[in-house]
Amino acid sequence: MNTIDQHAAALAAGKTTALALAQAALARARDPAGEGARVFTRLDEARALAAARASDALRSAGIVRSPLEGLPVSVKDCFDIAGQVTTAGSAVLKDAAPAARNAPVVDRLIAAGAVIVGRTNMSEFAFSGLGINPHYGTPRNPWDRAGGGRIPGGSSSGAAVSVADGMAVVGIGTDTGGSVRIPSALCGLTGFKPTQRRVPTTGVLPLSTSLDSIGGLTASVRCCAIVDAILAGEEPVPPAMRPVKDARFLVPENVVLDELDADVAAAFERALSRLSAAGARITHQAVPELAEFSELHRHGTLPAAESWAWHRALLARAEGQYDPHVSHRIRRGEKMNAADYIDLLAGRKRWIAAMAARTAAFDALLMPTVACVAPKVAALEPPHDDAYWAANRLILRNTTIINFLDGCALSLPCGSAGEAPVGLMLAGIAGTDRDILALGLGVESCLGGG
């Protein structure tokens, strides 16, 4: 899997063209033996080829708009693109009116020279960490596709597989409870969830207006930093790498290490050992605030309340067209009253302040991104509802903590070659995005990636 820099260098040297890259990506997406039919809800072949030709023409005139110039990029099916219907992986919205304008992040990608190849499949309305979609199919994880395959993780399922299978260099996804980091971890990619306010969510079909954030899934930390800067409207210059020597990491001993499967536990311990050997200062201690997390949500969650507010009229007339797992989670918000919601917002504010104080002496939190490797798809489809809910809870557990914190986080591959993909999550409080990316470059180098 080539990085943005590697593709950019090949383009600059005349070894390839934007048109050739787009044609290759589209050919993979069209391959009947591949995952493209499940990865994309819409391929934009004509538009992508036109954009690629325009990029090549600009390059020949000496104009290169960004490191993304001429590179194939996929966007999740919850982003508005003018003239297209934003279905968010649902059947119920397939006949909705097309978007009148692009989401700002789409405009920023186009202005950067990205060649948008299509819209990627997702968990319906982004409300699951598994990536299973009964309407458009479930993209198979690139690891272990035999026997029906394994889940890609969600909700940005198609985004991850589009990159892993070479249909895009970058996938743009949303992350409300882990939806960029989970599929990145399960598919062997690197993904970044920024502080929520860093990237505008206008023109994105919401799951939770309090928690929704936008990030990239790609091949390396440097790639994530480039994409993040473009999405945030900044110059796409990654931060300088911060070596891990003397970096202070906190590994919470409670909650986030519970129920780890053997593969994840072994990969996590190997990663910690490598970091320690490189001079990182790793502290293992309980974080009392994590033990309070469930109690704060005893009356419901922000995604439940805020998705119920958006969906209630649609559910009233067309609930039968929803994935029952999704409508069930949305309807949990129906049981929350205004006081519950206000209490949760106030509790979140206090909890964020307590977590900031608790972690002030550290440069970052370290934990497994996901507590298990990707389960088999068939084991979570009907009639295996109990397994579905248990897997969804466990897979979302660690990542959703960072969304509630309003933090930023990287997921980096930390497994060994030939083994199931496992993600290492490096996280910080709100506004420390560049610091986490800089430190992530050092962690990636220490682990042998990048």
Q: Catalytic site residue 213?
A: no
76 is catalytic: yes
Residue from 76, 208, 213, 327 carrying the catalytic annotation: 76
Q: Which of 179, 184, 213, 307 is catalytic?
A: 179
Q: Are 38 and 160 in contact (CB under 8 A)?
A: no
Catalytic annotation, pick one of 128, 155, 156, 184 = 155
Give the pLDDT confidence score for residue 334 in this predicted structure.
97
Cα(421)–Cα(419) distance, rounded to whole angstroms? 6
Cα 132-183-24 angle, rounded to 5 deg: 95
Q: Is 179 one of the annotated active-site residues of the chain?
A: yes
Closest by CA to 375, choosing from 435, 421, 311, is 421
Instruction: Please give the chain's pLDDT, 450 residues, in tens.
Output: 899 999 999 999 999 999 999 999 999 999 999 999 999 999 999 999 999 999 999 999 999 999 999 999 999 999 999 999 999 999 999 999 999 999 999 999 999 999 999 999 999 999 999 999 999 999 999 999 988 999 999 999 999 999 999 999 999 999 999 999 999 999 999 999 999 999 999 999 999 999 999 999 999 999 999 999 999 999 999 999 999 999 999 999 999 999 999 999 999 999 999 999 999 999 999 999 999 999 999 999 999 999 999 999 999 999 999 999 999 999 999 999 999 999 999 999 999 999 999 999 999 999 999 999 999 999 999 999 999 999 999 999 999 999 999 999 999 999 888 899 999 999 999 999 999 999 999 999 999 977
Domains of the chain: 4-231 (3.90.1300.10), 248-408+419-447 (3.90.1300.10)
The DSSP-derived string for 320-373 is: GGS-HHHHHHHHGGGG--HHHHHHHHHHHHHHHHHHHHHTTT-SEEEEESSSSP
Using CA atoms, how far residue 364 sits from 166, 360, 429, 439, in Å, is 32, 9, 8, 9
Helices (H), 234-292: 262-277, 288-291
pTM here is 0.97
Return the pLDDT at 237: 95
